Amino acid sequence: MKISSSNLYHHTSTFKNLLSIIKNGFEHRLVKESLPFSEPPSSTFNIPGIIRYDFNFKAVCFTDLPSDQIANHIDQYGKYVIGLSKDWGIANGITPIRYIHHYTPDIYNNNFRFITDFIERYPQSKNDIIDLANDFLKQAGKNDFITSSDISNLPEKFNFLIMMYDQIIKDICSLVYTHFGLMRIYEERVMNVEKQKYEQKIYYNEREWRSLDTIGEKANLNFHAYDISGIYVTNKDEIKELITFFEKNKTKYEIDNMKSFKEKIKLINEL
């Protein structure tokens, strides 16, 4: 049995949204991800999910579920679907996400807690590393803080090292934050949109891929006709509207054979 598709599918709830994606590409939208973890083994409060880390970033989400397993996904995320080749996705930096549970080894340890605390405290002023060092001194009960004059009185080579390490720390924080953005909890109790009731949901079954934009600077993800594996809508009038749109924009989407391309636009029950 095939457990993944050679295409990536994006679901949306309205024809208007689908048309916007076709016209403008995929816009990275704000995602609020909450990752519930356990305290590390050394903690007195070692309870699954007692700590929740909330992250805000922009992303576009896809799935590579095969068509014979996508019914529940359609019910939950929308009956308007556009599929694109996985080669297109990989070339655009779209990647499978990582699913974690409360006791995932590299998450469930003291080092991870230290790293998350470090990133949460890391300031964004021009004296980043000085403020951070003073923060740690304060926590250690020290009152002899580092000042700008202390730094300016150092030999030039030490000032250079501080600047270099400051940039390295920023890069590390950015890298770790990106890893957070490509994580999702293995399962969680959530609202089932179709049934309108809470139930345990295994996100791992969604086989999610993401395009991640942690700093809000990524352009929309655009595509051509040859990247599209299929477009699925709910009625024949919507099919006609899409065909008319693509006929008027054949050059933009590099459509060589309109007759062949029209066969990619189908009703959702054909997926």
| C-alpha span between 130 and 139 (Å, rounded) | 14
This prediction's pTM: 0.83
Q: Sign (positive/negative) of CA torsion 22, 25, 29, 35?
A: positive
Q: What is the mean pLDDT of each run of 10 residues along the chain (271 residues)?
A: 91 97 96 70 52 79 93 92 98 96 78 72 60 80 83 84 81 84 88 80 94 90 97 98 97 96 96 85
Find where tokens 């693509």 sit.
Answer: 246
What pLDDT score does 51 carry?
59
What pLDDT score does 52 carry?
64
What pLDDT score does 234 carry?
97
| C-alpha span between 69 and 60 (Å, rounded) | 21
What pLDDT score does 19 carry?
98
Q: Angle 267-269-270 (CA atoms, 0-180°, nearest 5)?
A: 70
What pLDDT score does 28 carry?
97
What pLDDT score does 48 carry?
52
With beta carbons less than 8 A apart as the criterion, state whether 188 and 34 touch. Answer: no
What pLDDT score does 230 carry?
97
What pLDDT score does 128 carry?
67
Torsion of CA 221, 222, 223, 229, to 10 degrees: 40
Q: What is the mean pLDDT of the chain?
A: 86
What pLDDT score does 43 carry?
54
| Greatest CA separation for the chain | 76
Residue ranges of alpha helices (H) inside the chain are 15-24, 71-77, 86-91, 110-121, 128-139, 148-152, 156-181, 236-248, 258-262
With beta carbons less than 8 A apart as the criterion, state whether 49 and 36 touch. Answer: yes
pLDDT tens readout for residues 85-139? 999 999 999 999 999 987 888 877 777 777 777 776 665 544 567 777 788 788 8
Residue 168 tokens read as: 């390295």
What pLDDT score does 122 carry?
63
